[in-house]
């Protein structure tokens, strides 16, 4: 009875993974017993399945009945994901701070290793605490406001959630795309580290000039003097991409609304990227001159690199959005 299998899979996809197996067996058994009773009463098996599943109602609302959210700041449905995200964010923040302080120590002639270690420990501790605090606040808000009525009002689930019918079931069980979760994990970690480095040690992005093996100068590739005009917008764009990747990583089974949210985030991110790259005066226009004052070839190369960076970033975002749009199209046809 494939409709029963599909229905049960739709219910357990909203439950914590550790409880899915037990609830799957219990729910399947209950549905089969109800179907058997109707069949014994003279109803065809197909009509009996249709009737039972209709009475069971929306799989998402049924899944909520298996959860007790009142006793938790972050309930069992979200806790495994919360724990995973907290560990990943903490690790990414710690790694970013470590990279920044390592670069600071290696390329600073008067740096004290003792002071650097103390600053690194303090910064890492505070950074990790703040990261976990923000993750906790976000998940707590989701937990509190992710009730059927409120979520529906916010537009995060289908407005017809209360008008669900058996015909709304997908034609087959949804599969989990592990590659999307891995790509989301990589993208999320990259975004966290990049944000951290851009906003704390922007000067490490540059051309490192050495004399006889000794660092003489770091020529920045970014326009540090005017960073206040473009860095906030660039940070928002990167953060939106990171959140989108975080959703792909954290949510085991993507829904249509999640896909639309991710697509919207990437669209806003693309607009911000385009604005900053075209109008933000983001790059150091004097880089080639500071490296080799008399080299017109290097200056022309640097101009070409800046243009190519703009093209690559925009094309990469457009490709990502096209893939997401295609996934939404496939989801709607399922």
Q: Where are the domains of the chain?
A: 1-67, 72-163, 170-190+203-334
How many whole angstroms separate alpha carbon 196 and alpha carbon 96?
A: 6
Query: In order along the chain (334 residues), what is the average pLDDT of each group of 10 residues?
Result: 84 78 90 91 88 86 70 65 83 85 71 79 87 85 59 41 69 59 81 88 86 81 92 93 83 72 90 86 90 88 88 87 81 62
Contact in structure between 7 and 61 (CB atoms under 8 Å)? no
- Token pair for 221: 């590739």
Q: Looking at residue 109, what is its pLDDT?
A: 61
Q: Looking at residue 250, what is its pLDDT?
A: 73
Q: Looking at residue 201, what is its pLDDT?
A: 85
- Helices marked H in 218-333: 227-250, 256-279, 287-291, 296-333
Which H or E element spans position 215? strand 214-220
**pTM (2 decimals)?**
0.61
How many whole angstroms separate alpha carbon 87 and alpha carbon 185?
A: 12
**CA contacts within 13 A on the Cβ side of 212:** 0
Contacts of 287 (CB under 8 A, 6+ apart): 207, 219, 220, 221, 302
Q: Looking at residue 293, what is its pLDDT?
A: 87
How many whole angstroms separate alpha carbon 60 and alpha carbon 67?
A: 11
Q: Looking at residue 59, what is its pLDDT?
A: 84
Q: Looking at residue 33, what is its pLDDT?
A: 92
How many whole angstroms separate alpha carbon 317 and alpha carbon 72?
A: 38
Gyration radius from the chain CA atoms = 26
Q: Is 283 helix (H, G, I), strand (E, B) or coil?
A: strand
Residue 128 to residues 86, 118, 195, 197, Cα–Cα distance (Å): 9, 15, 14, 15
Q: Looking at residue 158, what is its pLDDT?
A: 43
């Amino acid at each position: 009875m494939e409709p029963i299998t599909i229905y049960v899979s739709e219910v357990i996809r909203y439950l914590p993974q550790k409880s899915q197996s037990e609830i799957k067996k219990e729910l399947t058994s209950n549905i089969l017993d109800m179907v058997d009773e109707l069949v014994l009463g003279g109803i065809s098996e197909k009509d009996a399945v249709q009737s039972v599943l209709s009475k069971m109602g929306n799989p998402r609302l049924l899944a909520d009945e298996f959860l007790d959210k009142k006793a938790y700041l972050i309930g069992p449905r979200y806790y495994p994901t919360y724990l995973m995200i907290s560990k990943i964010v903490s690790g990414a923040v710690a790694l970013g701070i470590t990279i920044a302080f390592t670069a600071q120590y290696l390329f600073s002639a008067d740096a004290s290793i003792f002071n650097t270690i103390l600053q690194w420990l303090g910064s890492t501790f505070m950074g990790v605490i703040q990261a976990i605090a923000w993750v906790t606040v976000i998940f707590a808000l989701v937990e509190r406001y992710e009730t059927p009525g409120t979520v529906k009002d916010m537009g995060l689930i289908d407005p017809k959630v209360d008008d669900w019918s058996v015909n709304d079931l997908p034609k087959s069980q949804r599969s989990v795309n592990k590659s999307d979760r891995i790509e989301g994990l990589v993208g999320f970690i990259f975004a966290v580290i990049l944000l951290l480095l851009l906003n704390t040690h922007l000067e490490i992005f540059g051309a490192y000039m050495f004399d006889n093996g000794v660092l003489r100068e770091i020529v920045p590739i970014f326009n540090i003097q005017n960073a206040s005009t473009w860095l906030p917008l660039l940070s928002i764009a990167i953060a939106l991409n990171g959140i989108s990747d975080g959703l792909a990583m954290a949510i085991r089974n993507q829904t249509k609304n999640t896909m639309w949210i991710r697509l919207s985030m990437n669209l806003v991110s693309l607009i911000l990227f385009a604005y900053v790259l075209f109008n933000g005066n983001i790059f150091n226009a004097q880089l080639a001159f500071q490296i080799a004052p008399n080299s017109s070839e290097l200056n022309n190369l640097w101009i070409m690199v800046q243009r190519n960076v703009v093209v690559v970033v925009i094309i990469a975002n457009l490709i990502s959005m096209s893939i997401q749009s295609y996934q939404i199209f496939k989801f709607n046809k399922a």
